[in-house]
Amino acid sequence: AQSVTQLGSHVSVSEGALVLLRCNYSSSVPPYLFWYVQYPNQGLQLLLKYTTGATLVKGINGFEAEFKKSETSFHLTKPSAHMSDAAEYFCAVSDSPPGGYQKVTFGIGTKLQVIP
């Protein structure tokens, strides 16, 4: 069974400060890992994903995440927060191989507040 734990349901950072959103997962097979972002009253948008290969993954809007197998973590970071980053972020894990039905388990989400 797969699961995702997001540490901190609310995170506040100052504009220009480092953003760090934590995600730990469990999976019985090599996982596929995702970060999605949800802006108010919108659907989820893919930020980045890890499937295989390089463990440091770069996504849109300056975000990146590093897959650390030994720590079962996939933390999301951005060097300098912008006001437009205020949103809810979801970490997700899938143990389904590409091309088929995607059984994805989502974390409960972390709301990011950016303080001017």
Partner 1 sequence: DAGITQSPRHKVTETGTPVTLRCHQTENHRYMYWYRQDPGHGLRLIHYSYGVKDTDKGEVSDGYSVSRSKTEDFLLTLESATSSQTSVYFCAISPSSSTDTQYFGPGTRLTVL
> Considering only residues 25-44, where is the footprint of partner 1 by CB under 8 A?
32, 34, 36, 41-44
Q: CB neighbours (10 Å) of residue 2?
A: 18
Residue 60 is classified by DSSP as G
Name the segment binding partner 1 (CB under 8 A); options: 21-29, 56-64, 78-86, 104-112. 104-112
What is the spatial distance between Cα 21 and Cα 84, in angstroms, rounded to a whole number? Answer: 16
Nearer to partner 1, 43 or 116 (CB): 43
User: Are 4 and 106 spatial neighbours (Cβ–Cβ below 8 Å)?
Assistant: yes
88: nearest Cα among 56, 54, 41: 41
State yes or no: residue 20 binds partner 1 (CB under 8 A): no
Nearer to partner 1, 84 or 101 (CB): 101
State yes or no: residue 108 binds partner 1 (CB under 8 A): yes
User: Cβ of residue 80: shortest distance to partner 1, in angstroms?
Assistant: 26
Q: Mark 67-96 with x for binding to partner 1 (rule: CB under 8 A) and - for no binding.
A: -----------------------x---x-x
Size of the site for partner 1 (CB under 8 A): 28
Torsion angle (degrees, nearest 10) of CA 4, 85, 112, 77? 50
Single-letter amino acid, residue 91: C
